[in-house]
Structure 1
Amino acid sequence: MTENTKIDFIYLSEPDMIKAGVTDMPSCVDTMEEMFGLLYTGDYRMAGPNNDSHGAMITFPDESAFPTMPKPTADRRLMAMPAYLGGNFQTSGVKWYGSNIANREKGLPRSILMMILNDIDTGAPLAYMSANLLSAYRTGAIPGVGARYLARKDSKVIGLLGPGVMGKTTVAAFITACPKVDTIKVKGRGQKNLDSFIDWVKETFPQVTTIEIVDSVEAVVRDSDLVSYCNSGEVGDPTTYPIVKREWVKPGAFLAMPASCSLDDGMEQKDVRKVLDNTGLYEAWYEEVPKPAHCVIPLVGVRCMDMIAEGKLTHDDIEDLGKIVSGDSPARENEEEIIILSVGGMPVEDVAWATVVYRNAIEKGIGVKLNLWDVPVLR
Structure 2
Amino acid sequence: MKSGVLQAHAKPARRRYCKGASVTEPVSPEILFLKQEDVIKAGVLDMPKTIADVEKVFKMYAEGEIIQPVKTLLEFPDPETGVRGRLVVSMPVFLGGDVQRAGVKWAAESSANARRGDLPYGIDVVILHDLDRAHPVAIMDGTLITAMRTSAASGVAAKYLANPDSRVAGMVGAGVIGRTAIEAYLCVLPKLEEIRLYDLDRRKAEALAAEFSHRVRVRVTDSAREAVEGADVLATQTTTRKHFLKREWLTASNFYAQMGTNEAEEDEILQADVLVVDDWAPIKHYTQGYFSQLVEQGRLQEERILELAPIVAGKIKARTHPNQHILFKSMGMGSEDIIVAERIYQTAKAMGIGQKLKLWDQPLWL
Shorter-chain TM range is: 0.7 to 0.9
| TM-score normalized with structure 2 length | 0.87
| TM-score normalized with structure 1 length | 0.84
Q: 1:23 to 1:143 in 2, by over 3 A?
A: same
* 1:25-77 per-position Cα deviation (integer Å, ceiling 9, x unaligned): 1111111111011222222223xxxx2x12242x44689xxxxxx98655211
- Which residue does 2:313 correspond to in 1? 326
Given candidates 179, 187, 192, the residue that maps to 1:176 is 187
- Is residue 98–residue 111 contact of structure 1 (8 Å, CA) maintained in 2? yes
In 1, Cα distance between equivalents of 2:189 and 2:97: 28
Secondary structure of 2:208 counterpart: helix
- Which residue does 2:91 correspond to in 1? 81
- Is residue 43–residue 85 contact of structure 1 (8 Å, CA) maintained in 2? yes
Alignment pair present for 1:103 and 2:120: no
In 2, Cα distance between equivalents of 1:103 and 1:62: 11
- Which residue does 1:226 correspond to in 2? 233
- Which residue does 1:142 correspond to in 2? 153
- Which residue does 2:273 correspond to in 1? 272
Aligned length, in residue pairs: 342
- Which residue does 1:317 correspond to in 2? 304
- Is residue 78–residue 84 contact of structure 2 (8 Å, CA) maintained in 1? no
Alignment pair present for 1:193 and 2:204: yes
Q: How far did 1:6 drift? A: 2.4
* Residue type at the aligned position of 2:235: S
- Which residue does 1:290 correspond to in 2? none
In 2, Cα distance between equivalents of 1:82 and 1:310: 30
Alignment pair present for 1:114 and 2:122: no
Q: 1:377 to 1:72 in 2, by over 3 A?
A: farther
Alignment pair present for 1:248 and 2:249: yes
Q: How far did 1:221 drift? A: 1.6
* Residue type at the aligned position of 2:226: A
* Residue type at the aligned position of 1:22: V
In 2, Cα distance between equivalents of 1:60 and 1:224: 37
Pair member with larger Rg: 2
* Residue type at the aligned position of 1:276: V
- Which residue does 1:124 correspond to in 2? 135
Unpaired runs of at least 5, structure 1: 64-69, 286-292, 298-302
Q: How far did 1:160 drift? A: 0.6
* Residue type at the aligned position of 1:21: G
* Residue type at the aligned position of 1:101: S
- Which residue does 1:338 correspond to in 2? 325
- Which residue does 1:289 correspond to in 2? none
Given candidates 6, 13, 26, the residue that maps to 2:48 is 26
Deviates more, 1:155-164 or 1:218-227: 218-227
- Which residue does 1:347 correspond to in 2? 334
* 1:164-218 per-position Cα deviation (integer Å, ceiling 9, x unaligned): 001111111111111221211011111331233123213xxx330x221112222
- Which residue does 2:224 correspond to in 1? 217
In 1, Cα distance between equivalents of 2:309 and 2:301: 19
In 1, Cα distance between equivalents of 2:235 and 2:267: 19
- Is residue 269–residue 327 contact of structure 2 (8 Å, CA) maintained in 1? no
- Is residue 78–residue 111 contact of structure 2 (8 Å, CA) maintained in 1? no
In 1, Cα distance between equivalents of 2:306 and 2:82: 34
Q: 1:72 to 1:39 in 2, by over 3 A?
A: farther
In 1, Cα distance between equivalents of 2:78 and 2:210: 40
* Residue type at the aligned position of 1:186: L
- Is residue 38–residue 44 contact of structure 1 (8 Å, CA) maintained in 2? yes
Q: Percent identity?
A: 30
* Residue type at the aligned position of 1:35: V
Alignment pair present for 1:55 and 2:72: yes
Secondary structure of 1:262 counterpart: coil
Q: How far did 1:122 drift? A: 2.4
Q: How far did 1:4 drift? A: 5.6
